[in-house]
Amino acid sequence: MVEREVDIKIVASEIIRRINEDGRRIRLLEQRMDRIDDSVSSLESSVITELDDIKIGIERLSDKILKITERLDGIENEIAKVNKGLSKAATKTEVKELETFINVVNPITSRFITKDELERILEEKTEKMKRA
């Protein structure tokens, strides 16, 4: 019976030792889990912050793209107006024709002859022809 009590005490002490060891392992696992939870929480917080920053960046880009689109529309409208005006404008050839016509009838650059001068020149020519 004493032997049995010693065996029971040995078994009981082994069980207590194992329970203590299991308790220590469980505490270590709980500590690891707490650290992992803290890390995950920190990562989640960082990801949320980054996502908010990205959303703000995307909104800014969207606003800029919208403004650029509006400016491009305005530029396209102005180009259409300029093209419409150019279609009504005179061509280079037409301007040259007008310049030539103006030069012909321009009293400042053109030299007109009076009747007396014409008669005098004609007399001079006829006299030269008679002498020749």
- Give pLDDT tens digits for 85-96: 888 887 888 888
Q: How far apart are CA 123 and CA 132, in angstroms?
A: 14
Q: How many domains does the chain have?
A: 1
* Segments forming the whole domain that contains residue 45: 2-131
Q: Left, alpha or beta for 106 (phi > 0: left; psi -120 to 50: alpha)? A: beta
User: What phi, psi does 89 have (nearest 5°)?
Assistant: -75, 155
pLDDT over 90 (residue 101): no
- Sorted by sequence, the CB contacts under 8 Å of residue 110 that are 6+ apart come out as 103, 104
Residue 54 pLDDT exceeds 80? yes
* Per-residue model confidence as pLDDT tens digits over 60-91: 999 999 999 999 999 999 999 999 888 888 78
Query: What six digits make up the tokens of 21?
Result: 């060891």
pLDDT at residue 107, rounded to an integer: 63
Predicted local confidence at residue 1, as pLDDT: 66
* Residue 23 pLDDT grade (very low, low, confident, very high; cuts 50, 70, 90): very high
pLDDT at res. 102: 79
Tokens of 127: 């006299």
Residue 3 clears pLDDT 70, i.e. is over it: yes
Q: At residue 118, does pLDDT exceed 70?
A: yes
CA pair distance 86, 88, nearest whole angstrom: 5
- What pLDDT is stored for residue 80 in this prediction? 94
Q: Are 18 and 24 in contact (CB under 8 A)?
A: no
